[in-house]
Structure 1
Amino acid sequence: MDKGKRWLKAEDAATYVGVRVDQLRRLVRTGRLPPPSHSLGPRSPRWDRLALDAVFEVKQVKPDHVTPSGMAHALLAEHNAKRRRKEQVEAFRRREPVPR
């Protein structure tokens, strides 16, 4: 994949984002990634590299505080939810009060 290309095929867009093609399509379906353009025809979807970059950009609120936005925020929330669930399961197995 040429780093200078702006419009990416599904395989290139998936590689650029770091997922498989089926995951890329699922992320588009769920609204976590922007949909492709079909300007070349219905069988030639192309993803805008700049739109994909915008999803992953990080906004700087204060000089010492970074706030994730878009996809980064969604992935962070999903990771935290899985971690909390794992802690709850481990506490249950040890028969301790469940952390909330």
Structure 2
Amino acid sequence: GAPAVSRPARRPDHFADAGLTVLRTPEGIWCRCDGGPHGFLSIAAHAHADALSVEVRHDGVDVLADPGTYCYHGQPAWRRYFRSTLGHNTLELDGADQSVSGG
């Protein structure tokens, strides 16, 4: 038979390779903090200008949510918005994006 697998007593909260930290409270508050590098490895095409962004949930209800991707093709104005700093829960200085995507 399959070996017995036990659930860890505590879930991991820091994922260094991804630059993500997840904070959880017994009261049902969940917060994800993004402190990772821009882009996916060497390709910036997947990158969003979301450095230091946060997501917050309370009892499973999104309070601050990541906007996601929206679309990959067509409607370029919306694509730019959903990848922009303005489209994320983070800081924007002087109306400038934190970064400019490579693709």
TM bucket by the smaller chain? under 0.3
Greater RCO, 1 or 2 (C-alpha within 8 Å, sep 6+): 2
TM-score by length of 1: 0.22
TM-score by length of 2: 0.21
Query: Which of the pair is proportionally richer in helix?
Result: 1
